[in-house]
Each structure stands twice: as structure tokens, then as C-alpha cells.
Amino acid sequence: MIRNVGVIGLGYVGLPLALAAAEAGHKVLGLDSNKQKVDRLNKGVSLVEDISNETIKDALSSKFLSFTSDYNDIKQVDVVLVCVPTPLSRDKKPDLSFLTSATKSMSKCLNRDALVILESTVAPGTSKNLFVKILQSERFDAGKNLKIAFSPERIDPSNKVWNLKNTPKIVAGLTEISREAAVEFYSTFIDNVIRCESIEVAETAKLLENSFRFVNISFINELAMLCNKIKVDINHVIKAASTKPYGYMPFYPSVGVGGHCIPVDPLYLASTASDIGVPILSIETASTINSRMPEYFVERVANKLGRIVGKKILVVGISYKPNVADVRETPVEPLILGLRAKGALVFWHDDLVSEWRNEKSSKLTDLYDLAILATPHDYIDLSKLGEIPILDTRGSL
């Protein structure tokens, strides 16, 4: 069935989702409160690096996709996907201000029989205790009129194997009717849609996925510290362990964790657990370890150079993961700030990012006292650094 679809929030999650739904033949309206973003999209300018300008322009010219910043425009849609950010506050607590604002705004304009699906990552209970309650209080009897579902996003920028179409998607509903309506909709452009027993199961599963990675990254970072101390290459250790065909999967060391999911989602789970009196100590410990990694590498630099003050240091790669330009929550930022606090003259190179914090990417040359490999994009040619020493945060000796 062809539907009129509204996608609220046009970032790394919402924009690919809007395009996928449009390509499946649905008439899609992308909505974002940022008018400047909407203006650029209407001109065919992509805001997500995995999506080309041509893809946006083709979708616009097909008339299956349009963009707006006016909530009144969603009055005629019968499926609404909410993909707004749910970041952390300064004190590392869940920040639901974007979700609250978007829900209040759309509730005044929704078609009474619409299917409303929350894709934003939230803590267990948030869908019912915040999302549904706002909808009910603003206008609707959400249990009888609106069909409400939850289906957390699974987007991995730059992944060439797993994309929106072939990544299995979990779906839960406030009622069975809601869930089945969501399953029917997603099945028009996603290969494998999986039903969950309840919204709480789906909420917690999403947090488990990224908490699993968060905890294991912290463990491998600690093991890398040990291996460095005993002069063993951690990457050789990981390679050897990876030969075991069962009960093991590899994780790799780094300067810390970044992006919109890994440093954020586990703390949503930890916050809920703490609030109800069953703290998840492994997440709390992992957060401490991962947060300390930039400081650890500042110490490594001091040990390597003997003196940091006045030394020219080039940090190579500043995005949070290889081959993307995304700098959200990048652990390279505290690394640079830590080095500068010690008196170092720090420059950075990342042609994917190009400009960041009112600074521009520096060239790869041998005019530095030390280079730090933080994020190894495929394009980077380390031979351009000549003979200057390189500190590899990925664990190599």
C-alpha cells in the first residue's frame, strides 16, 4: 500500500529513511525545524555524506519527496517517523528536549488515524512515559486513535555491506494492531522486519547492541595499555584470538569512542538502571575507561618526547571513525585539548572534515616533532610524514 509519509528530523537517520521510503513509491515529506537545513535540501544539497546531491535532486524531481520546516504540512500524512536526536546533556544524562519539542509540535497537526513510529534511541519506558503521554495530553486518545510503534534506527555511516534495506529491523507496538501496521509499512523497503514482544523489549535491545560494543571497546583499550607496557603488539594478539571460530569476536583499540550512538546509548541504559536501583557497573566502568583514553595518549606523548611544551604535533584524522566526516562526540577533541593544555603546538589533518572549530586541515608533511594517528582514513598516505615518529592510537607498537 502506498502511503503519505512524514519523516521528522533529517539527519543521519531521517534523511536515508525518507529517501528509502520515497524510492519504494511512498509520497514522503521530510520535516526539520532547522529552516537552513530544509532550504539546502530543497536545493538538492545533501547533508549526509553517504547520500549524493544527485540522489536528493532525483528524489525531488520525481515528486515522491519534498522538504518542509512547517509542522502544519503533516496534516495529510498517515505515517509519521520521528527521527530527532536524543543526545546527552552536559552532565551525561539523557537529553529528551528535541523529542519533547517535536512530539508536542506534531501532536497538534497529526491525522487522528495516523501510524506514528518513534525511531530515536530512548531509555526503557520512555516511549510510553514520555512520547505516548505527550500525544495523549496534547490532543489524542493515543491508545484508540493513533497507532503508535517503536523501531530504533540501525544506521552505520559508510558501511558498504550493511545498509538500511538489508539490515534487519526490529519493531514493537503499543498494541498488536500498531505493531502490524508498522511491520507492513517497513516491509515495503526493508528486507527483514522482526517483531518484538513489547516496546520495552525493543527499547532495551537497542541499548544492549551499543552497550555491548561500548564495554568491549573499553576492555580492549585496557588490554592495549597492558600490551604496550609489556611490548606486545595488541593487533597481533587480536589476530591470534580471532582464529577461534566460536565464542569470540574482535574489537580494536582506539583513542576512545565517538559518534551519535556508542558514547551515548549505554549511558541511557546506565541512567535508567541507576534510577531504579540496579546500577550496571560494567557500563559505568567502561565509561570511565573510554573517557580517559585521550588523557592516556597525552601521557604517551610526554613519555615519547620527554617534553611537550613547544613541540609541534600533528594529529591525523579527527572524525570519530574511519572514512566519515562526522565529528560528533569525537574523542580526538579531548586529545587535542589535552595536548594544548600541556603547551604543545597542535595541528590536525583530515581532508574529509576539512574545517573544524574554526581551524583548517593541515597538510601531511615532515615538519613536525610527532604525528599521532587517531583516525586512519583509507586515503591517508603516512609516507608523506617522512621519518618523523608516529604514535598509533590503534595499538601498533
135 touches 142 (CB < 8 A): yes
Q: Which CA distances in Å does 352 have to 28, 46, 257, 347, 392?
A: 30, 15, 19, 15, 20
The DSSP secondary structure of 38-101, one letter per residue, reads HHHHHTT--SSTTS-HHHHHHHHHHTSEEEES-GGGGGG-SEEEE-----B-TTS-B--HHHHH
Distance CA 168, CA 135 (A): 28
Helix (H, G, I), strand (E, B) or coil at 164: coil
Distance CA 204, CA 220 (A): 24
User: DSSP alpha helices (H): ranges in 66-192?
Assistant: 97-107, 126, 133-138, 176-186
Q: Does 227 qualify as catalytic in the annotation?
A: no
Cα–Cα nearest to 322, from 250, 373, 385: 373
Look-up: residue for cell 603488539? Answer: 233
* Sequence letter at residue 172: A
**77 CB-near residues (< 8 Å, 6+ apart):** 3, 4, 5, 6, 29, 111, 114
Distance CA 240, CA 302 (A): 31
Look-up: residue for cell 616533532? Answer: 369
Distance CA 213, CA 209 (A): 7
Q: Which CA distances in Å does 142 have to 139, 175, 254, 285?
A: 9, 11, 45, 39
Q: Which CA distances in Å does 129 have to 44, 147, 153, 199, 200?
A: 38, 16, 20, 11, 11
Distance CA 316, CA 326 (A): 15
DSSP lists the bridge partners of residue 172 as 150
Helix (H, G, I), strand (E, B) or coil at 107: helix
Active-site positions read: 261
